[in-house]
Structure 1
Amino acid sequence: MAQSPEAPAGIARPPQQGRSRASFERMMTAAEALLIERGSDGFALNDVSRVGKVSIGSIYNRFSSKDELIQAVHARVMDRLCADQTRIVMRARSRSRSPVSLIRAIVDEMGEFLASHAQVMRPMMLRAAFDLVVQDRGRIAHDEMATMVATEVLAHREAIAHPDPDHAVEAVIRISYAAFARELGFGMAEAPQGGTDWKRLKADMGDMAARFLFSAPPADD
């Protein structure tokens, strides 16, 4: 089972006492909501204080800067995402009766996983462009998901028609993820407005993945 990366040094742990913990939770919830609404550059600690109904002193008792607070929010978000991404394979497995239906289901579940977390992943991926802590944690989590999916599909190695199953499975994961991420606007300041039929995109990517893996390639001219 994939595990979320350990929090970087300096990331505050939740306090144990009830009142302090409640204040901390309001602080973190407010910071995440502001991150989704405005992006990492669009709010200040005073906004977290106002929205979370916590004093600015309480924030500085836990975090030395807004950057450190955002990294702590990212750590919490990644805990949720890493827990949820372990269910991609379980849900796909429950929907499939063959290797072909398995890869179609995995691609579909991968798309749904990304869509369900798109609001918070979008600003975090923008942040990752210049924040190495966020970048490293995101990369580790992505690699864990890719390894988990590849292991499941390669358990059916004998059914894969592609001459290089390991490469083919890696390519399916990479290309499917990239297509979904682009459609969801990851790395963009704002979500894209309309355009592609999301259900059709998932079906098309699943069909292409199945054909790439399980249809024999044509002979070279």
Structure 2
Amino acid sequence: MPPISAHARVPKQGRSRESFERIIVATIELLRERAYDQITLAEICQRSGVSTGSLYGRVDGKDELLRVVQVRFLENLAEQFTVEADRIAAEARGLAQVVPAVVASLGNLLKEHASVLRSFMLRGSTDPVIGAAGKKAAFDNHAMFIRLILACRDEIRHAHPERAVETGMLLIYATQARFLGLDSIGRNAFGSNSATQDELSDWRQLLGDLSDMLLAFLLFKPGR
């Protein structure tokens, strides 16, 4: 992934760097509240306590700022995937434990960051830079979980373990993303802290069903 300096004039002095970081943090906070096209640069400056002139001294406009924010956000998300992958590796034993742990971790990371990811995904459909960065991050993060499942290769009965795991994970991601509304324009309340008990129950049931389906697929020995 290109560094932040590929999209912005990154300050070198300490105070200026702190101001720039506040802009990034404020933008992410606002993205958790509503879509990027509903946020103004004036709001970002007000939330961060940085002047509009200072912001334009670092980026040329709103589109470039979103690219900067995406870099930082995806860096942090990759760290969370690494922590989860390490935890699963240390705690889960065998396919029957690893698969549910992987499905739950992937889903809950998506759920926690649904509002922010939605803006990147929607913008990525028209911005090739954001789209490419998002796809690469998803590939790298999912690869950590795929490796965990393939570490249980001896238990997998499918004739093509790598293909089976990759296909299964792709379908699980697509289902979770659809459930969370990551491909929709409207804000999904379920991606926030305001989810109802019924929605949370539906989510837990979905994770359980997806785990069962992936396990069944990996333990299935096709005739062809």
Q: Report the equivalent of 1:202.
A: 207
Larger CA deviation: 125-134 vs 7-16: 7-16
Contact residue 185 and residue 192 of structure 1 kept, 8 A = no
Q: 1:9 to 1:21 in 2, by over 3 A?
A: closer
2:174 is matched with which residue?
Answer: 178
Distance 1:49 1:145, change over 3 A: closer
Q: 1:191 aligns with which of 161, 174, 188?
A: 188
Residues 83-112 of structure 1, C-alpha deviation per residue, up to 9 Å, x if partnerless? 111233222223322122211211111112
Residue 202 of structure 1: CA displacement? 0.8
- Which residue identity does 1:205 align to in structure 2? L
Q: Percent identity?
A: 35
Answering whether residue 164 of structure 2 is matched by residue 159 of structure 1, we say: no
Name stretches of at least 5 consecutive residues in structure 1 with no aligned partner: none
**Structure 1 partner of 2:132:** 136
Cα offset, 1:191, TM superposition:
0.7
Distance 1:105 1:49 in 2: 40
Using structure 1 for the length normalisation, give the TM-score: 0.87
Using the TM superposition, name which of 46-55 and 168-177 deviates more.
46-55
Shift of residue 9, structure 1, vs aligned partner: 6.0
Cα 1:44–1:171 change in 2 (3 A) is: same
Q: Per the alignment, do residues 27 and 67 of structure 1 end up closer, same or farther by CA in structure 2, a change over 3 Å counting?
A: same
Secondary structure (helix, strand or coil) at the match of 1:38 reads coil
- Is 1:88–1:113's contact at 8 Å kept on the other side of the alignment? no
Cα distance in 1 for partners of 2:40, 2:152 equals: 51
Number of paired residues?
A: 215
Unaligned regions of 5+ residues in structure 2, if any? 191-195
Task: Look up the match of 2:19.
Answer: 23
Choose which of 203, 212, 217 in structure 1 pairs with 2:217. 212
Whether 2:88 is the aligned partner of 1:83: answer no
Deviations 1:108-166 (A, max 9, x none): 11112211222211211111111111111111011112322222222322221112212
User: Which amino acid is the alignment partner of residue 191 of structure 1?
Assistant: N
Contact 2:4 2:72 in 1 (8 A): no
Question: 2:181 touches 2:188 (CA, 8 Å); kept in 1?
Answer: yes
Runs of 4+ displaced beyond 4 Å: 192-196
Structure 1 range deviating more: 87-96 or 103-112: 87-96
SS in 1 for 2:38: coil
- Partner amino acid, structure 1, of 2:216: R
Tell me how large the CA RMSD over aligned residues is.
2.1
Q: If the length of structure 2 is used for normalisation, what is the TM-score? A: 0.86
Shift of 1:185: 0.9
- Distance across 1 between alignment mates of 2:118 and 2:4: 21
